Structure 1
Amino acid sequence: MATTIGLQDLPPTPLLSEKHSGIPERWAEQCKESKARLYSLKTLPASVPREGELPVLPPGIDRPTFNTAIAELKETLGEEHVELNDKPLVDGWYMEHPNTHDTFHVLEQSKLVSSAQVYPGSVEDIQTIVRWANKYLIPIYPISIGRNMGYGGAAPRVPGSVTIDLGRRMNKVLKIDGNSASCIVEPGVTYFALYEEVQKTGLPLWIDTPDVGGGSVLGNCIDRGVGYTPYGDHWANHCGLEVVLPSGEIMRTGMGALPGKNGADNPSWQAFQHAYGPSVDGIFSQSNFGIVTKMGMWLMPATGHQSYMITFPEEDDFEQIIEIIRPLALNRVLGNIPQLRSVIQELAITGRPKSDFYDGKDPIPMEVIKAHAKNMPCGECAWVFYGTVYGPEETRNSQLDIIRQEFSKVRGSKFFLPEDMPEDHYIHPRARICSGVPELRELDWLNWKPNCAHLAFSPITPTRGQDARIVHEIVTRLHKKWGFDSLPTWCVSGREMHYIAEILIDRSDPDEKRRAICCMREMITEAAAEGYGEYRTHLIFQDQISRTYGWGNQALMRFNETLKDALDPNGILAPGRAGIWPKSYRDKGWEILPEDEPRTSVKTNGVIH
């Protein structure tokens, strides 16, 4: 049975003033309540005993060699900046997460774990660590914050890797430029932290934040995450990187490659994304070719804004809705990256568990969902569209008139503004996110199940109804086959849509984990067979997905492997990330593919554990 945990029973989450990954004081109460809700159905113990000798060793490294290597690293960086992963594994929660493993572990908790964590305080420290790794042939795995939830968190792809936690000591906003509306951040800067720093300047600038604000600005960007203002394509709005290569050399991309006057940074570094010659920034996103230590990011000038919500009555309406969305998005009438969400999320985002709405263990039927929605602010419906328009009032009103007119073509659609909804409705945090204010509210749907974790299936489709239908029917059918509720969201960028399907699992249930992996494997395979591929995925599916991009006899992967072997001949930097294996690991049993069984195991050097 679940044990209800009251607010008074939980230690407070660290504040941002106390810890780089903490919560700003203005969100402390919201954070406290969110944490209590997420703990209210927790049945897992804080930790479970670990088996075998600890820490888990890197592949091919015996314990005396490992101990010698760690002693050398401690002597170089300081004992307090190197920690062995030999203690109990504690999942924590979003704002108090581990850097030792995946909080939302789909495999057993102890499978994808580090051997140690190291905390560099400078680029020079990172160079030292990289050279150390080359000397001992120990794999290293850099993280910014480690909150890549649903995609692997802080877990290394190769068990026993040494995690480089960049965020603990490299967490400064190095520059905010009001003239160019840009900033430079280190890896440990969260969206909450960047928002606070921008507020301190008093400049009329917005950040662009994803659904939850605790992640790394840099980390989310290089994993090509999205937000919801007109600057929502984060990678498209980065400008200039500083990178430590696997050799230990430092490189700057874009205009930063041109030295500034008297040793200063080039003044155009955050103004223009490219240099002369090939534009190489892209090889450092979703890759293992370098460690990004600084990044420029464009900020949005503050402007007027108006959020709104439209509901649609029938589940089969989505094809018509998307056909209406496309010309509005292409002509920039919609203004931002809007979301089309299944109405089941109106239930889940209340923070109430599924058991409040449905007694069955099977997926909750649509008629039950709609019956509950009938008594909620959204009313009885199947889809909910959240959007925001920007600019002067006259412009916003003109855009809203067009939006109302076009979506009214869907019979039974209803249009709402935030003032039409009660204060606790999700439209209000949605409006804040769409005006550059970080939030925590999106965490509430993780209360849908006890010990809830999520696993994201994230294919790309054109903004076209027939394409959306193909992917949606695959996802809906396979969620039902494997016994999961389907909570789909389309995030519309214009010509394309990110289809985000979350599988919610009780991470205390091995069978749910097995079924979630099976569901993911089949969705990946079936979507790829129809020509639709994921833009981002969890660690254990990276090999499968990278192989779906196999045009020209795996020409892209062969190119990536050529780059990997040239830049990282010893294969020390994040081997296996994005499905890219160095020659020292390649074709030696490290890949995790659909045929590998059992589904809840992980292969280590060809052996299933």
Structure 2
Amino acid sequence: MPTDGEISKTPLLSEKYSGIPKHLLDKAQAAKSLIFETRTKSTSTRQRLPVIPQGIEKTKFFQALKELGQQLGQENVEVNDKPLVDGWYMEHEEELVASAVAYPSSTEEVQKIVIWANKYRIPIFPISMGRNLGYGGAAPRVRGSVVIDLGKRMNQILDINPEDYTCLVEPGVSFYALYEAVKAKGYDHLWIDTPDLGGGSVIGNTLDRGVGYTPYGDHWACHSGLEVVLPTGEVIRTGMGALPGNNTWQNFPGLFSQSNLGIVTKMGMTLMPNPGGYESFMYAFQKEEDLGDLIDIIRPLRISNILENVAQVRHVIQTLAVKGKLRSTYFSGDGPIPEEVVREHVREMPIGDHTWLYYGMSYGPEHIRKYKLEIIDNEFKKIPGARRIDPKTLPKDEYFWSRDRIAAGVPDLVELLWVNWVPNGAHVAFSPVSPIRGTDAMKLFKMGKSRHDEFGIDFLPAFCVGLREMHLIVEIVFDKDDPKTRKAANDCLREMIDDAAKEGYGEYRTHLVLMDQVAGTYDWNDNALMKFNEKLKDALDPNGILAPGKSGVWPKRYRGRGWEMTKASENRSEGQGVAPAAGTRL
């Protein structure tokens, strides 16, 4: 059990840029307590030496760090010689460890870091707040990189425009912070859109193509102008921001999604008008095969905006897992938990028996909501046994109410309770994109379930439905203290990536160790896209210093030297050195 002192370490937003709002403190303490209760792995306390990036001598590296400290302040350049301490949900393994961390306070200081990195040819890896959970967290792809932590000292909300419904933020602004700032200014006519967890960076989530659950849920589609430091140290502004004195920079979009072509230091974001009312709803569907019919019903309703938000279709096992209890609470056998056991337990819960749940929300005045909800009800009930759940029958701790808050633009932190499904819970995500078609949904579901059964892993699928596409989000939860389950998770993921690619499905986002494999699936026309990306990388980043390997794109001095992490590489992250600088004597 955690001590009171351990739980009280959870910082508040009023104390730290990365903290939580005070009204969520009890919920955070409860979640953290559950994690401590299921933890059997001891925290590392051994001293460790800092990792030196390949291509630079140790002495020269520390001289370079001292020089950077003179530019930023020595307290803002930290050598990573401390034990690797597990976070709440993911650990940063030795294969993906940073050599040091730099904390800039401005775009100008980011420029200084980039110019410094070019001078010494040191790899750098920018993060916003490091909360890319399930996809690598704050770890760099190249071992020994200097992480640029943009969030710690660049965390200002630079503008909230109540007339244009826009904001301008720095990388350290979380969804919590933006929400609280909008409320503090009394802008009740403005909503933000938040992902499942509100503690991550608005910029970081948007650049990695994260989503939320209001009609503004496609964050990349809702971003606008960017300020970007290029790998050479030059600064550009995209879109209308390139025009001096322009007053629509926050209203018109730009570039740099999921790239290693620049460091975003400012971003404009659109805010949603308060719709004047909202109403969450949830439907339960009984059979596994109902998924196909449901998705086909959803498609025209979503495209016509009768179904207005990025809603979720979740499998019954998640109804249990999101309670935050160990699966041994329900089943102590080996292999995946049998569905009949899951169904037996959910029958005793307020929602009752089901295989799929649809979580949605209708927006607008009551008479408009009534009209849309009647259409939805008539369509959904074409599926035999479909039933709408009455929210009045659900207790306040039911997961439905977390989805209700999130779909109303109110950040929450309930989602990751399913990480407690196993002791020492960690998670990694598989997230292919497909058309909104029932045949595709069933194909992906059966494909994923088959592989999970093969590797003895519980299958936790959820479909997130956009306007023209849907994401299947599969979270593999594993015991990070058990080499066998870690390997099973890795092997299962790698097989699913290949399975999906053979059927024409590509991942929209992936973990650091899987980026090379995923990038390799986009190989149409003799890898024309990768060749194009490499040309861009070499032109904009001639010294190959900015996030090498991000999204599977390697700069010239790493290319062809075995840095890729694939099935054959056995997860070794370092290649056979880097090419020397032109004119360097070997």
What TM-score range do you get, normalising by the shorter chain? over 0.9
1:113 partnered with 2:86: no
Residue 284 of structure 2 aligns with which residue? Answer: 311
Q: Give the superposition deviation at 1:7.
A: 5.1
Is 1:551 equivalent to 2:524 in the alignment? yes
Counterpart residue type for residue 12 of structure 2 = L
Distance 2:381 2:207 in 1: 39
Post-superposition CA distance 1:104-157 (Å, at most 9, x none): 45xxx2221000000000111000000000000000000000000100000100
Counterpart amino acid of residue 91 in structure 1: D
Structure 1 residue aligned with 2:57: 62
- 8 Å contact 2:561–2:575 — kept in the other structure? no
The residue number in structure 1 matching 2:176 is: 192
Aligned to 1:97: none
CA displacement at 1:469 relative to structure 2: 1.4
Residue 537 of structure 2 aligns to a residue whose secondary structure is helix
The one-letter amino acid paired with 1:78 is G
Q: Partner of 1:26 in structure 2? A: 23
Matched to 2:148, the amino acid is: I
Counterpart among 252, 255, 271 of residue 272 in structure 1: 252
Q: What's 2:88 paired with?
A: 93
Specify whether residues 345 and 237 from structure 1 end up closer, same or farther in structure 2 by C-alpha distance, changes over 3 A only. same
Q: Is the 8 A contact 1:50 1:110 kept in 2?
A: no
Correspondence 1:232 to 2:204: no
- 8 A contact 1:244–1:290 mirrored in 2: yes
Q: Shift of residue 243 of structure 1?
A: 0.2
Shift of 1:10: 2.8
More moved, 529-538 vs 22-31: 22-31
Residue type matched to 1:67 in 2? F
Q: Does 1:176 align with 2:147?
A: no
Which residue is equivalent to 1:333?
306
Q: Does 1:299 align with 2:271?
A: yes
Within 5 A, what are the aligned runs for 1:359-508?
359-508=332-481
Secondary structure at the aligned position of 1:183 is classed as strand
Give the distance between the partners of 1:77 and 1:9, measured in 2 at CA. Answer: 32
Does the Cα contact within 8 Å between 1:309 and 1:385 map onto a contact in 2?
yes
Q: Which of the numbers 165, 173, 196 marks the counterpart of 1:211?
A: 196
Matched residue type, 2:252:
F
1:221 and 2:206 correspond: yes
Taking the aligned partners of 1:169 and 1:11, their CA distance within structure 2 comes to: 24
Matched-pair contact (CA < 8 Å) for 1:588–1:606: yes
Alpha-carbon separation, structure 2, partners of 1:215 and 1:361: 35
**In the alignment, which residue of structure 1 is the partner of 2:563?**
590
The 8 Å contact of residues 564 and 573 in structure 2, kept in 1 or not, is answered as no
**Hey, what's the Cα distance between the residues in 1 that align with 2:574 and 2:65?**
25
- Matching residue's letter, 1:182: T
**How far off its partner does 1:315 sit?**
1.3
Contact 1:16 1:25 (8 Å CA) reproduced: yes
The AA in structure 2 aligned to 1:379 is: G
Q: Secondary structure at the residue paired with 1:270? A: helix
- Once residues 25 and 388 of structure 2 are traced to their aligned partners in structure 1, the CA distance between those partners, rounded to angstroms, is 33
Q: Report how far residue 39 of structure 1 moved.
A: 1.5
Aligned amino acid, residue 14 of structure 1: P
Q: Does 1:11 align with 2:29?
A: no
1:161 paired with 2:145, answer yes
Task: After TM superposition, list the pairs within 5 Å mapping 1:239-278 onto structure 2.
Answer: 239-260=224-245, 266-273=246-253
Amino acid in the other structure paired with 1:176: I
Q: Deviations over 1:238-272 (max 9, x none)?
A: 01000000111110001001011xxxxx2111123
> Which aligned pairs between 1:278-297 and structure 2 lie closer than 5 A?
281-282=254-255, 284-297=256-269
d(CA) in 2 for partners of 1:110, 1:173: 35
Deviations 1:503-530 (CA, angstroms, capped at 9, x unpaired): 1011111111111111011000010001
Matched to 1:535, the amino acid is Y
Q: Could you tell me which of 540, 543, 546 is aligned with 1:567?
A: 540
Which of 11, 16, 35 does residue 32 from structure 2 map onto? 35
Measure the CA separation in 2 of the matches of 1:311 and 1:508.
36
Alpha-carbon shift at residue 50 of structure 1 (Å): 5.7
Measure how far apart 1:9 and its partner are: 5.2
Q: Residue 263 of structure 1 corresponds to which residue in structure 2?
A: none
TM-score normalised by length of structure 2: 0.96
**What amino acid is aligned across from residue 11 of structure 1 in structure 2?**
S
SS at match of 2:213: coil
**CA displacement 1:56-94 (0-9 Å, x = unmatched):** 001111111111101101111111000000011111326
d(CA) in 2 for partners of 1:86 and 1:134? Answer: 24
- Quote the Cα distance in structure 1 between the aligned partners of 2:519 and 2:4: 44
Provide the residue aligned with 1:46 in structure 2: 43
Structure 1 contact 77–120 (Cα < 8 Å) conserved:
yes
User: Structure 2 counterpart of 1:222, which letter?
Assistant: L
Structure 1 position 29, deviation (Å): 1.4
Structure 2 residue identity aligned to 1:232: G
Q: Root-mean-square deviation (CA), in Å?
A: 1.3
The 2-side partners of 1:429 and 1:604 are apart by: 44
Secondary structure in 2 aligned to 1:385? strand
Counting matched residue pairs gives 576
Out of 70, 77, 80, which is 2:72 matched to? Answer: 77
Measure the CA separation in 1 of the matches of 2:490 and 2:160.
43
Letter in 1 for 2:58: R
Cα deviation, residue 392, structure 1: 1.3
Q: Secondary structure at the match of 2:95?
A: coil
Aligned partner of 2:227: which letter? E
**Contact 2:310–2:464 (8 Å) recurs in 1:** yes
Q: Which amino acid aligns with 2:22?
A: E
Q: Contact conserved, 1:307 with 1:417, CA < 8 A, in 2? A: no
Aligned residues with identical type, % of pairs: 55
Output the CA distance in 2 between the equivalents of 1:300 and 1:115.
41
1:312/1:425 CA distance change after superposition, 3 Å: same
Distance 1:183 1:9 in 2: 36
Give 5+ residue unaligned stretches, structure 1: 95-102, 261-265, 274-280
Contact 1:211–1:440 (CA under 8 A) maintained in structure 2: yes
Classify the secondary structure of the residue corresponding to 2:506: coil
Provide Cα deviations, 1:414-443, integer angstroms capped at 9, x if missing partner.
Answer: 102432311111111110000000001112
Which consecutive unaligned segments of at least 5 residues does structure 2 have? 579-586
CA contact (8 A) 1:243 1:293 kept: yes
Q: Counterpart of 1:75 in structure 2: which amino acid?
A: Q
One-letter code of the match for 1:423? K
Amino acid at match of 2:376: I
Q: Secondary structure at the match of 1:17?
A: coil
Counterpart amino acid of residue 267 in structure 1: N
8 A Cα contact 1:159 1:604, kept in partner: no
Deviation per residue, 1:287-308 (Å, 9 max, x gap) = 1000000000000011211101
Do the aligned partners of 2:143 and 2:573 also contact (CA within 8 Å) in 1? no
- Give deviations 1:430-482, integer Å, cap 9, x for gaps: 10000000001112111111110111000001000111111111100001111
Task: Tell me if the contact between 1:240 and 1:295 (Cα under 8 Å) persists in the aligned partners.
Answer: yes
The residue aligned with 2:327 is 354
